[in-house]
């Protein structure tokens, strides 16, 4: 039975609904049945012809932001065709619909905004969020991705224009893992912005006031969560791009109350750890032999460090011994126990060591074998820093994970050149292959898209009551296990992005198994987990 058999829509109503519209692919019989005769050109196109037409137009556009806008329009008019194209070539199109292009899209969102793809819940809606959520046409939403727009990628406070992030994230839930798109809901919490440029921009689409803070902010988040529980009782929440002072506390406050996770903390941690585990397989070394230096001590950096320590403990060392292998560098230098300005999240990683203020000194003092960048400070992995890493170890792990590309701590070419090809490299945003001394090096991309769609599919399929940190450790191990010797030979520590859909299923299977084992699933355990997961994967069909 096709999806069109489930609707009473006809005529222009059907053509204007992206869930049902097939454009010129409607057969002549369907045109007669649904009152479409005369509303479409007489030609009946095959899906392949439609795809060729769309891809030809995409290639003709001059910039990625033009392509982003075109993809956005396509998603608004023909959902199945949009996902067919995105799934057909994720390497080419994911950077357009998400990072790095989505950063510029958010910065210019007020100028390129077309039609609503989610909910804008503003400070003016306090006291009536339940009614606002009930305006959404789908009554059984299973995944919400929500941001308050305060820390969009490495770009800072973009207010309501951060809506591009949850739209993009949830598109990847579907494109990579097959979470049904009509069961997902992007939300931006429009509580103001402290970005003066936006407040003075006539095209800014958000409420024009300074951000809610303190008790007002906490009460707003509480009403939002309560409204989700009331309107969408089977729904899970992905917290996305909240500023560091709010991200951790929100996660801790609600993680045991409603099925939820923070991708910037837990998703980033899982993909970072997966790359490290794969790199150590490549080097045939152990976690306990390494010294990890995190440049950026916010929620992303400490999240990776925490998960890494949990895995080391599982391998047989104490938590104190594990933390001794992890060092942090923040805006004031190396995090050491003599400092009196440390946030609670940094204190477990404060070492009894002399304080140094520069990254180069930190790399030298710690004898780091891996450097992980979550700072959003571009070009901060300078030549002297990377050359010192190469002196510390024959195969240094260089991981500039900050997004978008303009915020990356170094480029792939710099890392390979300054280590004479010895670096094991992975970045947050994509870089092209690098040729050096007759050898081609293929940069890995440690993108959270390897993790959150698979976790999302597992949680959707099992209706999990909670999403513990251990689920992300399971996801990291599953992802790391996929990297083959052939890929290691190319310098890769993640599966190729062309395999992203396979990776999502591997992660989903592992996390689903874990959720059943831990008693967190709210559905009956199946005889075959892999078949169970596969049966929950949505496919774009006409």
Torsion sign, CA atoms 496, 500, 504, 509: negative
Both tokens of residue 297? Answer: 């001590």
Rounded Cα distance, 70 and 55, in Å: 11
Q: Which helix (H) or strand (E) holds 478?
A: helix 469-481
CA 340 to chain centre: 34
The owner of tokens 């506390």 is 249
Q: Looking at the DSSP assignment, which residues form a beta bridge with residue 439?
A: 436
Q: How far is CA 49 from CA 17, 18, 60, 85, in A?
A: 21, 19, 17, 12
Q: What three-state secondary structure class fits 505?
A: helix
Any alpha helices (H) in 339-490, and if so which ranges? 359-366, 383-392, 412-418, 452-462, 469-481, 485-489
Rounded Cα distance, 441 and 490, in Å: 6
Q: What three-state secondary structure class fits 243?
A: coil
Both tokens of residue 519? Answer: 């008693």
Residue 427, by phi and psi: left (phi above 0), alpha (psi -120 to 50) or beta?
A: beta
Rounded Cα distance, 263 and 45, in Å: 40
Both tokens of residue 204? Answer: 């800014």
Q: Looking at the DSSP assignment, which residues form a beta bridge with residue 333?
A: 330
Both tokens of residue 471? Answer: 């689920």
Angle between the 90-97 and 500-517 helix axes, to the nearest 10 degrees?
A: 70
Both tokens of residue 336? Answer: 């050491």
333-334 and 326-330: which strand pairing? antiparallel
Residues 6+ apart with CB under 8 A from 79: 18, 19, 21, 181, 540
- Would you call 98 a catalytic residue per the annotation? yes
Measured at the CA of 98, the angle between CA 246 and CA 136, to 5 degrees, comes to: 70
Query: Is-contact 419 393, C-beta < 8 A?
Result: no
Measured at the CA of 138, the angle between CA 136 and CA 143, to 5 degrees, comes to: 95
Starting at the earlier edge strand, list the strands of the sheet with 119-122: 119-122, 184-190, 143-147, 236-239, 260-262
Residues 6+ apart with CB under 8 A from 213: none
From the list 20, 98, 441, 450, the catalytic residue is: 98
Rounded Cα distance, 401 and 533, in Å: 30
The owner of tokens 């992905």 is 238
From the list 22, 93, 117, 169, the catalytic residue is: 169
- Would you call 70 a catalytic residue per the annotation? no
Active site residues: 98, 169
């Amino acid at each position: 039975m096709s999806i069109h058999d489930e609707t009473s829509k006809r005529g222009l109503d059907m053509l204007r609904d992206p869930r049902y519209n097939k454009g010129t692919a409607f057969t002549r019989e369907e045109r007669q049945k649904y009152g479409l005769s005369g509303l479409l050109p007489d030609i009946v196109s095959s899906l392949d012809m439609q795809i060729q037409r769309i891809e030809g137009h995409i290639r003709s556009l001059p910039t990625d932001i033009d392509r982003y806008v075109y993809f956005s329009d396509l998603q608004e008019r023909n959902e199945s065709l949009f996902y067919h194209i995105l799934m057909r070539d994720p390497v080419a199109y994911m950077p357009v619909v998400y990072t790095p292009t989505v950063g510029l899209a958010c910065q210019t969102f007020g100028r390129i905004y077309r039609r609503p793809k989610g909910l804008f819940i503003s400070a003016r809606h306090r006291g009536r969020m339940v009614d606002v959520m009930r305006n959404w046409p789908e009554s059984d939403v299973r995944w919400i991705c929500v941001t308050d727009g305060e820390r969009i990628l490495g770009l800072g406070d973009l207010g309501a224009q951060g809506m591009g992030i949850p739209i993009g994230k949830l598109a990847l839930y579907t494109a990579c893992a097959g979470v049904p798109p009509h069961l997902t809901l992007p939300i931006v919490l429009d509580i103001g912005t402290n970005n003066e440029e936006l407040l003075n921009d006539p095209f800014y689409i958000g409420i024009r006031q300074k951000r809610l803070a303190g008790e007002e902010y906490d009460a707003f988040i509480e009403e939002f969560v309560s409204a989700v529980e009331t309107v969408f009782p089977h729904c899970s929440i992905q917290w996305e791009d909240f500023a560091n002072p709010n991200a951790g506390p929100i996660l801790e406050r609600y993680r045991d109350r409603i099925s939820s996770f923070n991708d910037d903390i837990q998703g980033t941690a899982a993909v970072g750890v997966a790359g490290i585990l794969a790199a150590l397989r490549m080097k045939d070394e152990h976690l306990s032999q390494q010294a990890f230096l995190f440049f950026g001590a916010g929620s992303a950096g400490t999240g990776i460090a925490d998960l890494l320590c949990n895995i080391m403990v599982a391998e047989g060392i104490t938590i104190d011994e594990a933390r001794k292998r992890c060092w942090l560098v923040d805006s004031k230098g190396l995090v050491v126990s003599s400092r009196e300005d440390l946030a609670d999240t940094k204190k477990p990683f404060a070492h009894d060591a002399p304080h140094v203020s520069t990254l180069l000194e930190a790399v030298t003092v710690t004898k780091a074998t891996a450097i992980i960048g979550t700072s959003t400070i571009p070009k901060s992995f300078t030549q002297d820093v990377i050359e010192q890493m190469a002196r510390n170890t024959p195969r240094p792990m260089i991981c500039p994970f900050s997004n978008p590309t303009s915020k990356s701590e170094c480029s792939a070419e710099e890392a390979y050149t300054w280590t004479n090809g010895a670096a094991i490299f992975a970045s947050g945003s994509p870089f092209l292959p690098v040729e050096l001394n007759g050898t081609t090096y293929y940069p890995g991309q440690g993108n959270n898209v390897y993790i959150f769609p698979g976790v999302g599919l597992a949680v959707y399929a099992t209706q999990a009551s909670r999403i513990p940190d251990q689920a992300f450790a399971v996801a990291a191990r599953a992802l790391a296990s996929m990297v083959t010797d052939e890929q290691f030979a190319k310098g890769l520590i993640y599966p190729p992005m062309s395999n992203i859909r396979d990776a999502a299923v591997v992660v989903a299977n592992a996390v689903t198994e874990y959720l059943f084992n831990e008693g967190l699933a709210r559905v009956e355990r199946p005889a075959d987990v892999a078949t169970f997961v596969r049966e929950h994967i949505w496919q774009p069909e006409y």
